């Protein structure tokens, strides 16, 4: 067991993971990590391409004896979800991730770790730098913007590739072979704000919902964890019938593909109604603790006075439409697969609510392994939004990755796993967006699988990576590459 980061980084994979963890690489801030990959390739005297989307493609010739083997594309993404605990001082635009070890797990310090999908980058760099590992010709492609728009993969020019075998390294369960994933669409709903003068003799208070676990909006959606934005909507709707209050702003969630852990609203109320408000919120606190006792035991509602940042409040019309949007927009599992037991077929996540000077923005991440169902949920969200005076834009729309039962690459990975571990690997599909769907759409005849080590609570500040699993998965990957001859 590794006791220190210094000892851990003696392993080539963790050396490179530690190196890229020094480089800020949140989605939309990938230039530095992209440039690092280019400089790495040049230092290794490898062919490299950096495109306008900052995707990086690095090619390495086959080792001796593998010159006639089929070319393999290795693929992952360089960007990460940036979440941190409330009160944590960390600037994702400039600060490195602070790594720490607990038992046999690697964590960050009060932020997301970025193992999703930094571990793919680390595997790729370790392979590209290796001089003692036999392998076929390699085409490594590391994409940008996977966690937001998948715009990097969408922008990749297929003409760069000769390979027809794709190994994606963005899976998060060791001992499982991923062969299919959901497609998705990201919708942004914009409600213009009509402002009104703040009433006199009203005090400003903040209602804050916190303590939820959050998680990945695809992988964890079936756990039915609380969505802070939806909980806030229910609460505000109930208050409307009981207390005379004005709404000044509301914000919740940081990423559309993360289940929101926190949400808050700033309200103005008559001083005489403060005690009644506290009683109502106390009751709601008990309601949520009861409803979420098995999924989010730490849920809490806090109510505290604050200085009003503005003399404006939402008009009653805007207040009504904002709260109604929170109530009516679909969220959570929308349908289960009829072909694969336990697999979510369709879902949607109301991941972000944000107030600006001119509008309230609602961001929805919709996923489905059935194209028509993805469209149906998007139509439902769009219809609700338009009825409530909002406009809707589509920021990304990526295809599902269909299961191919006759895949030769799937058969090879099953064979090598059986040889190496004397047991069968579990073949799975996942309710998350994997870039394989984009690449199989771009490159006719492409055969793809996805593997990766055990990761836990990704897209949250408690994200952690199994160190033994990472090493095991590395050995499985290199063993299989050796068999492609």
Per annotation, catalytic residue among 30, 83, 116, 146: 146
Active site residue 146: yes
Cα torsion through 427, 430, 433, 434, rounded to 10: -10
SS (H, E, C) the chain: CCCCHHHHCCCHHHHHHHHHHCCCCECCCCHHHHHHHHHHHHHCCCEEEECCCCCEEEEECCCCCCCCCCCEEEEEECCECCCECCCCCCCCCCCCCCCEEECCEEECCCECCCHHHHHHHHHHHHHHHCCCCCCCCEEEEEECCCCCCCHHHHHCCHHHCCCCEEEECCCCCCCEEEEEEEEEEEEEEEEECCEEECCCCEEEEEEEEECCCCEECCCCHHHCCCCHHHHHHHHHHHHHCCCCCEEEEEEECCCCCEECCCEEEEEEEEHHHHHHHHHHHHHHHHHHHHHCCCCCCCCEEEEEECCCCCCEEECHHHHHHHHHHHHHCCCEEEEECCCCCCCEEEEEEEEEEEECCCEEEEEEEEEECCHHHHHHHHHHHHHHHHHCCCEEEEEEEECCECCCCCCHHHHHHHHHHHHHHCCCCEEEEEEEECCHHHHHHHCCCCEEEECCCCEECCCCCCCEEEHHHHHHHHHHHHHHHHHCC
**Separation CA 397–CA 402 (nearest Å):** 16
Per annotation, catalytic residue among 79, 296, 345, 363: 79
Angle between the N-to-C axes of helices 467-483 and 408-421, in degrees from 0 to 180, rounded to the nearest 10: 120
**Separation CA 25–CA 30 (nearest Å):** 5
Active site residue 79: yes
Spell 153-178 as b/e; 16+ CB within 10 A means b: bbbbeeeebebbbbbbbbbbbbbbbb
How far is CA 409 from its chain centroid? 27
Are 384 and 333 a contacting pair, CB within 8 Å? no
The strand pair at 312-314 and 165-168 is best described as unpaired
Q: Which residues are catalytic?
A: 79, 146
């Amino acid at each position: 067991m590794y006791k220190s980061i210094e000892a851990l980084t003696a392993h080539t994979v963790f050396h490179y993971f530690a190196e890229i963890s020094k480089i800020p690489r949140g989605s939309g801030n990938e230039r530095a990590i992209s440039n690092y990959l280019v400089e790495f390739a040049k230092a290794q005297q490898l062919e490299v391409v950096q495109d306008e989307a900052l995707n990086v493609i690095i090619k390495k010739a086959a080792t001796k004896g593998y010159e006639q083997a089929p070319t393999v594309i290795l693929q992952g993404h360089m960007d990460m979800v940036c979440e941190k605990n409330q009160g944590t001082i960390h600037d994702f635009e400039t600060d490195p991730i602070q790594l720490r070890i607990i038992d046999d797990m690697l964590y960050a310090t009060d932020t997301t770790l970025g193992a999703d999908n930094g571990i793919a980058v680390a595997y790729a760099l370790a392979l590209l730098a290796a001089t003692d590992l036999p392998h076929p010709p390699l085409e490594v492609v590391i994409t940008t913007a996977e966690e937001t728009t998948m715009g990097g993969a969408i922008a990749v020019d297929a003409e760069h590739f000769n390979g027809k075998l794709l190994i994606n390294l963005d899976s998060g369960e060791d001992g499982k072979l991923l062969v299919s994933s959901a497609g998705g669409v990201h919708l942004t709903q914009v409600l213009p704000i009509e402002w009104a003068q703040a009433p006199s003799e009203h005090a400003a208070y903040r209602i804050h919902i916190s303590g939820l676990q959050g998680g990945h909006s695809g992988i964890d959606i079936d756990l039915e964890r609380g969505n802070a934005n939806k909980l806030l909507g229910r609460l505000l709707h109930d208050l409307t019938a009981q207390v005379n209050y004005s709404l000044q702003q509301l914000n919740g969630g940081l990423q559309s593909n993360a289940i929101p852990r926190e949400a808050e609203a700033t309200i103005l109320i008559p001083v005489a109604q403060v005690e009644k408000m506290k009683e109502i919120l106390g009751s709601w606190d008990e309601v949520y603790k009861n409803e979420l006792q098995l999924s989010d035991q730490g849920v809490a509602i806090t109510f505290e006075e604050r200085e009003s940042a503005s003399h404006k409040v939402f008009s009653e019309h805007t207040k009504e439409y904002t709260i109604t949007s929170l109530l009516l927009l679909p969220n959570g599992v929308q349908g289960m697969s009829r072909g694969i037991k336990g697999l979510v077929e369709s879902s949607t996540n109301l991941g972000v609510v944000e107030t600006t000077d001119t509008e309230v923005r609602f961001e929805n991440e919709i996923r489905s392994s059935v194209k028509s169902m993805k469209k149906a949920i998007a139509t439902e969200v769009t219809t609700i939004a338009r009825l409530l005076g909002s406009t809707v834009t589509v920021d990304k729309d990526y295809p599902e990755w269909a299961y191919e039962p006759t895949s030769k690459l799937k058969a090879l990975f099953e064979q090598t796993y059986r040889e190496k571990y004397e047991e069968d690997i579990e073949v799975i599909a996942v309710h998350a967006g994997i870039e394989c769907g984009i690449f199989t759409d771009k490159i006719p005849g492409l055969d793809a699988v996805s593997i990766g080590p055990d990761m836990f609570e990704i897209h949250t500040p408690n994200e952690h990576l199994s160190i033994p699993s990472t090493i095991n998965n590395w050995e499985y990957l290199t063993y299989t590459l050796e068999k492609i001859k």
